Amino acid sequence: MDRAGMSGYRETPGNLGAYIMSRDHEDGRSTIVTVSYWESFDAIRAFAGDEIDRARFEPEEEQYLVDREWIVTHFTVGA
């Protein structure tokens, strides 16, 4: 997953960081959550295209995915 997905985040100008979190389940499957930080919505559009609320998947990820979330949730980070 790191090779397939993370390089796209890291290579996009305006990306401030990206992380993969995983949780293994007793049935042998895992839940994967990706969190990324961006300097602006325009930077997100440069990565994801105009539909920034629709998840983007790399072709290499297909072999790992049983199910997927198609909706992306954006938050504003504050201190």
Flag whether 76 is in a domain.
no
Domain that holds residue 39: 3-61
Flag whether 49 is in a domain.
yes
Residue 14 to residue 7: CA distance in whole angstroms: 14
- pTM score, whole prediction: 0.76
Closest of 47, 40, 48, 41 to residue 71, by C-alpha:
48
Flag whether 78 is in a domain.
no
Flag whether 66 is in a domain.
no
Return phi, psi of residue 68, to 5°.
Answer: -150, 155
Residue 2, pLDDT above cutoff 60: no
Q: Write out pLDDT tens, residues 15-54.
A: 999 998 989 999 988 888 889 999 999 999 998 899 999 8
User: How many distinct structural domains can be found in the chain?
Assistant: 1
Distances (CA, A) of 6 to 27, 44, 54, 79: 26, 14, 17, 26
